Amino acid sequence: MTSTRFLTALMMILPAMAFAETSYTVRKGDTLLSIVDREMGFENKKDPRRYQWAQRIRAQNPQIKNPNALEPGDVLTLPDFPGAKKTEPQIALKPAVPVSPVAAPITAPPAETEHEPAKPAILVAAPPAPIEPPATPPPPAQENHEAHAGGHHDFIGIQPRFQFLTLKATDEATREEAKLTSKSSVGLDLQYGKILNDKWHLLAQVGYTSTEFNPIDGVAGATINHSRESQTIFALGAAYEISPSLHIDAFLNTADRTFVIPTGPGTWELKGVMIPGAEANLSWDFVQGNGYVVGGSVIAEYIAALTKDDIKYKSTLEPVGALYWTSKRGHDRLNYRVSVVYKNGHQHTNVSEQKEEAAIAGLMVSIPL
C-alpha cells in the first residue's frame, strides 16, 4: 500500500517537474541563441527551432533589450528545455517489481484486495512527451543578424570617373584673365579595403585622370603651352562607422594639382604639381531602402603649401559635397556605388589667383576578397 501511494504521488508531480522554470545568470558574450544552443545541443545553425526557443525566453524575460548583447550578470528565467543536453536525475519506474509478487500469493478475501485491480496501469505511465516547436517558424530579424555576424570581407574597389572641369586664372601683375574648360576628362580609381572589425577598416587608393582642355578663353590671341594634362593621386586612410547610418573616413594623400600659370602677356602655362594634402569625409545614409541606401557626404579637402621653380603654391581648405546611391547585397557579394561630386575651390600662387569648379560622376564596383 505504501509503495503504491508513493508511486501515485510521484506520477502527479512529474508533469509539474517537466515544465519547471530555472534561473540563469548571463555570462560575458551570451546571446539568446547561444544559450539555446548550449541547453538544447543544437549544432545546425539553420535549425528553425533555435529561434522558437529564443522567442520563448524573450517572452518570459521582458527586461531584455537586445537579444544579441545580453548584460553579464543579469538573471534570466529559462523554461525547462525538453531533450536538453544537460543531465538531470531521472527516477526509473519499475512497474514489474510491485505487480508480480502481489498477484500470485494473495489469499485474503476480496474485501482486503481492493487496491490490486488496475493499479499496475498507473505504474507504467510514461513521463509527458516533449513539446515540439512548430516546424518552420520565421526567424526574428534581430536573431538572424547574429547568424550573419562577422561576415565582413576585405575588398577591392574599381571606379571609372567622368568629370567636367573649369579653371579660371588671373595674373596678379596684369589682372589678365584666362579660362579653361575640359573637352574630355576621364579617370580610374583603384581602392583596397582591409577590414579590422565591424567598426574600422583601412583604405589604400591610387587614381589616374587624363583631361583634354578646349582652347584658352578670356583674352583674344592668348596661348597656352599644351592642352592635355594628366593627374595621379596616392592616398592612405581609415574609415569608421559611427552608427549604422553615419560614417567618417580620413585620408593623407599626395596628388597632382593642375594650375594655369601666366608666363608673359597673353601666354600661359598649364602644369601639374604634386602637392601633399589631406581629406576628411562625413557621410550620412539618409534613406535606408530594401537592398540599398541613399546618402550624402560633406568633405573637407586640405592642400598644403609648396614652393617649386620659384613659384609659391599657397595652402587652402576646400569644401566638397557629394550624393551617392549604394547597393547592400551582402558583404560577400559584388556591390555598387554611384556618386556625384561637386567642388568649387581656389588654389592661389604668388603670381596668380585660380578658381576651380568640378563636377564628377563615378561608378564604384566593390569586389569581396
Place of cell 582642355: 213
pLDDT given for residue 91 in this prediction: 41
**What domains are there in the chain, each with its CATH number?**
2-147 (no CATH), 155-368 (2.40.128.100)
pTM exceeding the 0.85 threshold for the entire prediction: no
For 158, the grid coordinates are 574599381
pLDDT at 343 over 80: yes
Q: What percent of the chain has pLDDT over 90?
A: 51
Which range, 22-31, 167-176, 326-335, is most confident? 167-176
Q: Convert the pLDDT of each residue in 256-268 to its tens digit.
A: 999 999 998 889 9
| 77/51 Cα distance (integer angstroms) | 17
Residue position matching grid coordinates 576621364: 186
Close Cβ partners of 172 (under 8 Å, ≥ 6 residues apart): 350, 351, 352, 353
Question: What is the rounded (10 degree) CA torsion for 260, 263, 268, 270?
Answer: -50
Give the range among 31-40, 76-85, 154-163, 185-194 with minimum mean pLDDT: 76-85
Q: What is the pLDDT of residue 28?
A: 82
Query: In this model, does residue 341 exceed pLDDT 90?
Result: yes
Sequence-ordered list of residues with C-beta below 8 angstroms from that of 343, at least 6 positions apart, any chain: 301, 318, 319, 320, 356, 357, 358, 359, 360
In this predicted model, what pLDDT tens digit does every residue of 207-254 receive, in sequence order? 999 999 999 886 677 889 989 999 999 999 999 999 999 999 999 999
Instruction: Name the more confident of 16 and 172.
Output: 172
Give the span between the Cα atoms of 129 and 227, in whole angstroms.
86
pLDDT the model gives residue 64:
86
pLDDT at 131: 57
Question: Which tens digits make up the pLDDT trace of 79-114?
Answer: 876 655 544 444 444 444 444 444 444 444 444 444
**Structure-model confidence comparison of residues 111 and 35, the more confident one:** 35
Does residue 15 register a pLDDT over 90?
no
**In this predicted model, which residue has the larger pLDDT, 167 or 47?**
167
pLDDT of residue 49: 85
Q: What would the pLDDT profile of 112-123 be if each residue is shown by its tens digit?
A: 444 445 555 455
**Nearest C-alpha neighbor of 244 from the set 287, 191, 195:** 287
- Exposure class string for 152-188: b at 16+ Cβ within 10 A, else e: eeebebebebebebbbbbbbeeeebbbbbbbeebebe
Check residue 142 and give its pLDDT.
44
Query: DSSP character for 198?
Result: S
